[in-house]
Amino acid sequence: MPLKNIVTSSLTAQLSDLPPGDTIEVSVFGKGIGECVVVHLGAGEWLIADSLIDSSAGCPVALDYLRGIGVDVTTAVKLVVVTHWHRDHTDGIAELFEQTASAEVVFSQALRSAEFRELLGRDKVLSPANSSLAEMRSLIEILRERRRKDGQQPGGPTWALENRLLRKTPDGDVFSLSPSDGAISLALREIRSLITSEGASVGRLCAQRPNETCIVLSVRLGDKVVILGADLEAGRDATLGWKAIAGSRTRPHMRASCFKIPHHGSSNAHEPLVWETLFTPSRIGVLTPYRALRNPIPTSQDIERLLTCTTQLYCAGGLAAVRGPRRPSSVEKLIAGRLHSAEARMGHVRARFPPAGTAIVDTFGSAKRL
C-alpha cells in the first residue's frame, strides 16, 4: 500500500512536546510483556488504556510520560480503561487510577455480575500475590474509597459494551466497540466455571479467555479516528470478537486511519473484514510485542501479513529480549538454557494527527518502523 505522503517523522521530536489542542495523539508503549496506550482526546483531555510499569521510572509508564510533557494527570486524564484482566495489561493500573483523580474507570460489561463479584471475594481470601485479580481488587478499593469520601459515584465505573458512547468531547467522542452480547454470555459461563463448590479444589482463579471480552475503543477528534484493538481475537463465530465488530450495523461508521493492532499482531486476532470495513485505505498500524511465549509474537509471518494491511507499521518495544540477569556460571549450568528473558527494552510509538495535513509518527526507545 504505497501511500508515502500520509506520514512524516519529526526528526527533532522531543518527548516533552505537548500536542496542540486540536490534535489527536496516540502513544503506544511496550516492553515485550505489557502494553499501555495513551490518547489525547483534544482540548487537553486524555484517556489511558491499560497499564505497564516502566522499571527505570518505577511507576506506570503513562504517568511518567504525561508528567514529562507537562500534563497535570490529576485533572487532565478523564478515562482509565481496563481492556481486560490479563496481568500484562493491568500492571500498575491501581496506582495509575489513584493518581488520576478526575478519571472514570471503564470495565468490560462482561465483568458486571454477581459471579465476578464472587470471584473477587475468593481471590481476596486466597490473596495470591501474583493473581490476575489482585491489581483489579486494588483498583476497586481505590474506587470505593473515592465513593466513601465524595458520597456519590466519582470514578465510575463506566461499563463498556458494543457501540456504547463512553465520553463526548467538544469535537469528538469515545465509543467502545466491544464486548459483544455473545462475548458477555461466554464470559459469564467461564467465570461460573471458575467458582467451584465446597469440597472441590480451590482451582486457579485464572480465566483463559478474557481476550474475547476485551474492550475495543474507537476514539474520534474531528474527522480523525483511531481504533485501539486491545487483545481482542478474531472470534469463533459472527457473535464474537472482530467478526462481531466488523459485522455490526450499529457501530460508528467513520473509518479510522490508525490501528493499535490487537493481540500483539498474532494471527488469531486477524480478521480480513476488519481492514475492509473499519479503516481508510491509508492507515498506520502500531503493535506491541509479547515475548512470554515459546514463540514470541508477532512472528515474522505476522509482520509480513501486517505489512500488506498497513501503509506503515510500527512496533512499540524491541523484538529482541533484553539480556537476562547475570548469574553465576554454576546456576547457568543448572538452568541449561531452559530460561530466557521475556522482556524487551521499552519502546514508545507516538502518532499525532493534526486536523489538516499529514500524520506525524515518532519512535522513542526501542520502538521502530517495521
Partner 1 sequence: MSLAMMRQGNQLAFTSERHRTDRSELGPGLIDQLPFFVIPYELETDPSVVKRGPLQDTEPSSKHLSEGRPETGVGGLSTSGNASLRPIFKIHPRQIAQQRSLVLQQWEGTVVEIKGDSFGARMRNLTDPKGPEEWATLLLGEISEEDRCSVQPGAVFYWSVGYLIEPYGQRRTASTIYFRRLPAWSSADLERARNAAEEYRDIFPDSPVE
For residue 236, state whether it binds partner 1 (rule: CB under 8 A).
Answer: no
> Out of 59, 101, 319, 342, which residue is the one contacting partner 1 (CB under 8 A)?
342
Q: Residue type for 226, please?
A: V
> Out of 4, 189, 253, 333, which residue is the one contacting partner 1 (CB under 8 A)?
333
Provide the mask over 274-313, with x wherever binding to partner 1 is found by CB under 8 A and - wherever it is not.
-----------------xxxx-------------------
Whose Cβ is closer to partner 1: residue 273's or residue 334's?
A: 334
C-alpha–C-alpha distance, residues 244 and 177, integer Å: 9
Q: Residue type for 108, please?
A: S
Q: How far is CA 369 from CA 41, 311, 317, in A?
A: 24, 11, 11
Whose Cβ is closer to partner 1: residue 114's or residue 356's?
A: 114
Phi-psi region of 192 (alpha: psi -120 to 50; beta: other; left: phi over 0): alpha
For residue 209, state whether it binds partner 1 (rule: CB under 8 A).
Answer: no
Least distance between partner 1 and beta carbon 276 (Å): 32
Footprint of partner 1 on residues 11-50 (CB under 8 A)? 33
Q: Which residue do the cell numbers 530466557 mark?
A: 340
> Out of 128, 170, 272, 281, which residue is the one contacting partner 1 (CB under 8 A)?
128
Q: Which residues of 202-235 are buried (b: 16+ CB within 10 A; e: fewer)?
A: eeebebeebbbbbbbbbbbbeebbbbbbbbbbbb
Stretch that binds partner 1, among 16-24, 72-80, 210-218, 334-342 (CB under 8 A): 334-342
Q: Is 346 exposed, middle or buried (0-12, 13-18, 19+ CB in 10 A)?
A: buried
For residue 340, state whether it binds partner 1 (rule: CB under 8 A).
Answer: yes
Instruction: Tell me which residue of 37, 58, 63, 61 sits closest to 48, measured CA to CA.
Output: 37
Whose Cβ is closer to partner 1: residue 11's or residue 125's?
A: 125
C-alpha–C-alpha distance, residues 80 and 348, integer Å: 19
Cell representation of residue 141: 478499593
Stretch that binds partner 1, among 66-74, 221-229, 299-307, 338-346 (CB under 8 A): 338-346
For residue 116, state whether it binds partner 1 (rule: CB under 8 A).
Answer: yes
Binding site for partner 1 (CB under 8 A): 33, 55, 109, 111-114, 116-118, 120-122, 124-125, 128, 130, 140, 143-144, 147, 157, 184, 196-204, 206, 208, 291-294, 322, 324-325, 327-328, 330-331, 333-335, 338-343
